Amino acid sequence: MREHQHNQQEDKVIKGVEPLREENACCSSGQCAATHASEHHHSSEACSVDKHAPELVSEEVLPPPAGSQRFSWLIGGMDCPSCARKIENAVSAIPGVDSAKVLFATEKLVVDAQTDISQIVLQEVKKVGFTLSSTAKTAEKPAPESWAKRYGLLILLVILMLISWGVSTIDPVAGNAAFLATTLVGLFPIVRQSIQLIRTGTPFAIETLMSVAAIGAIFIGATAEAAMVLLLFMVGELLESYAASRARSGISALMELVPEEALLLRDGQRIKVSVQELRPGDIIEVAPGARLPTDAELVTEFASFDESALTGESIPVEHQSGDKVSAGCLVVDNVSQMRVTSQPGSNAIDRILKLIEEADERRAPIERFLDKFSRYYTPAIMLFSLLTVLIPPLLFSQPWETWIYRGLTLLLIGCPCALVISTPAAITSGLAAATRNGALIKGGAALEQLGTIRNIAFDKTGTLTEGKPTVTDIMTADDVSQTELLSWSAAVESGSHHPLAIAVVARAQQESIALIDADERRAIPGVGVQGSIDGKIVLLSSPVKTDPAMLSDTWSQAIHKLESEGKTVVVVLREERVAGLLALRDTLRKEAKEALTLLRGMGIKGVMLTGDNPRAAAAIASELNIDYRASLLPEDKVAAITELAKIEPIAMVGDGINDAPAMKAANIGIAMGGGTDVALETADAALSYNSLHGLVKMIQISRDTHLNIRQNITIALGLKAVFLVTSLLGLTGLWLAVLADSGATALVTANALRLLRKR
């Protein structure tokens, strides 16, 4: 039985419209996957791997409840995960809404509702300070926010602050009134938004804390500091907005890779059409310097493509006619005709974006913990600030003004912005960095898990090896030449799609041997394949299926030696007499040794799990310097993974249907980019191209993200701890408290952005 089997299944994608609207008459489609196992006459050491471009299939998201419609919009003005919660709370409170989910990474709002509530959603989201626009590429995009609208209030506040400061140097009383007026100008929009957030279910937002602190400062006469608090808050918000847009820049760039129009060839005419009109089988033409609008198969004889946007590899890849190329790849040299292979909305870029959206559902444990922690943390800080205001004056006769001031300072110190954004900023940057390097990780949980891996189990064929065997040795009887042996073998194997048959024919063509067709070709189940050449029967058989009486000691020793080197041996018989032997071997991936060496340098061990015979497995494992387990069925691989996982965290890397159960059993499953749909769907992470170097990058980025999160939490909590003490002692005031909070937010975001530079 061959080690890998392939299946075809339909991609399942939720299509976006403005607003995305789907009647849920039948919202769950069965997974249609037909698995066909085909046996060949050769031994199990080779497998069939289709050569195609990277394909990634995401897991199916939950459909809307029965009777619901689904709507989706792009969100404008969202800076951090706390903004996402504000929107979710506001929309969830609308009558008739079944669920509301904000996908922070792709800035999308998805709402399930019983009726069309689009206009109400638009109004409610606008009230809490955000905008919504169409998700459809063809829809008219809203004009970018004007410079005056974005920076107008901040500039006005700066001007008023300077005027107030100037007035205060001349007349302190008038200056105090000027600062009061400045504070009220800056406070009005924040208080208004705070009230709206309270009404929509977000009572402990940063706007609420700022409003309470500024109003309290006015009552105790600290008008200058109240105005400074608001000014620094606005500056901090702008910094957060800039940092968030930078963190999402990689995802935004990915969304822009696919052009909106294509040049369709129809009846000899070139017609410019929308990408949404393309269907599988259509022929399109792509000029040099243009990107593919969809997944397609090359019709032109050959062309080179820059795949760096998807794989991170800067060297163009040359493809031959029949090769599949992913959407978003850039044509380098020739005008290329391509045959469309994907449905609208289900090309490689769409599937990558789908995985990124689903990543929001698979947040890292530490991120989930901090999210829950912050929900209790903010009310607790408000209570602590209130006690700070009340206890010293009531119990120790301390002055009210002093402790009200310190309580307000603590209120601002306790703002959780930096802590809340510390983890998601790092994870978003880590996922984006991995995507840039050709590694797709399905969420923060998988990203976190990757960093703990200390052992990796590898499937052999198609993972450590190319999955494309080649003829390595040719041994002939005394009266048979190599040319004759290859000619007979190729004649019998011609037309077969089995990888060993393809390898034999390819070697004959390489030797410039004219191919002939054997007559009466047929497969003999459990034995081999035979045909008639010049009236004489030629049989290609596995050694174990060959009559031992036909194998002399010399032939037996040769077979044993070749098999001990990890090679597959085919016995060629002519008229029931051994004419020679062909030895074939699946070639190692050129980067396999280096990748495994790099992994060992990172403290990660490797083990090979394969269905091959022990001698073949030992030869490959010895060359790669890793442990191995051989002659494994799929259920044996699962048992091996379960056993190894008890010792230390383990990942499983594979590409075939028979690898999927083991990948699921491992702490984390990783699929090779050229693998089957089932393997890709089962995996927690996937390489978008067939290179083990991507595995090394993936793990390194995970570890860097772990370190970055720890640094961010230390910065966020460390600064708060320092200023908490100094504020209680009266050493720092309101404006320094806001500066500390905004500074911490800017620092953790800037630190997270460093991950985007990982290459």
* Catalytic residue ranges: 459
Query: For residue 553, is it within any domain?
Result: yes
Total domains in the fold of the chain = 4
The answer to whether residues 125 and 13 belong to one domain is yes
The answer to whether residues 570 and 626 belong to one domain is no
Query: For residue 250, is it within any domain?
Result: no
The answer to whether residues 457 and 493 belong to one domain is no
The pLDDT-based confidence of 526 (bands split at 50, 70, 90) is low
> What are the two backbone dihedrals, phi and then psi, of residue 546, each rounded to the nearest 5 degrees?
-95, 135
Residue 72: what pLDDT?
85
Ramachandran assignment for 435, one of left (phi > 0), alpha (psi -120 to 50 degrees), beta (any other): alpha
What distance, in Å, lies between the first and last C-alpha atoms of the chain?
A: 41
Tell me which of 202-211, 365-374, 487-496 is least confident.
365-374
> What are the two backbone dihedrals, phi and then psi, of residue 457, each rounded to the nearest 5 degrees?
-95, 130
Query: For residue 368, is it within any domain?
Result: no
pLDDT over 90 for what percent of the chain?
21
The answer to whether residues 508 and 594 belong to one domain is no
**Which position has the higher pLDDT, 361 or 15?**
361
The answer to whether residues 328 and 287 belong to one domain is yes
Average pLDDT over residues 604-619: 85
Domain boundary among 346, 365, 382: 346
Domain hosting 62: range is: 7-133
Residue 112: what pLDDT?
87
The pLDDT-based confidence of 681 (bands split at 50, 70, 90) is low
Residue 644: what pLDDT?
93
The pLDDT-based confidence of 16 (bands split at 50, 70, 90) is very low
**Which position has the higher pLDDT, 523 or 108?**
108
Residue 695: what pLDDT?
92
Bridge partners (DSSP) listed for residue 583: 473, 569
The answer to whether residues 628 and 516 belong to one domain is no
pLDDT at 425 over 60: yes
Amino acid at 369: F
The answer to whether residues 459 and 472 belong to one domain is no
Indicate if the alpha-carbon torsion angle 658, 664, 665, 668 is positive or negative: positive
Query: For residue 707, is it within any domain?
Result: no
The answer to whether residues 473 and 550 belong to one domain is yes
Q: What is the CATH number of the domain that holds 647?
A: 3.40.50.1000
**Which position has the higher pLDDT, 304 or 2?**
304
Instruction: Convert 399-454 into a string of H (helix), E (strand) and C (coil).
Output: CHHHHHHHHHHHHHHCCCHHHHHHHHHHHHHHHHHHHHCCEEECCHHHHHHHCCCC
**Which position has the higher pLDDT, 257 or 100?**
100
**Which position has the higher pLDDT, 232 or 346?**
346
Domain boundary among 679, 702, 725: 702
Q: How far is CA 655 from CA 285, 320, 652, 673, 682, in A?
A: 32, 23, 10, 8, 10
Residue 340: what pLDDT?
94
Average pLDDT over residues 609-624: 83
Average pLDDT over residues 304-324: 72
Residue closest to 713 by CA, chosen among 659, 759, 751: 751
**Which position has the higher pLDDT, 634 or 614?**
614
Say which residue the tokens 């999927």 belong to: 660
The answer to whether residues 474 and 583 belong to one domain is yes
Query: For residue 142, is it within any domain?
Result: no
The answer to whether residues 300 and 446 belong to one domain is no
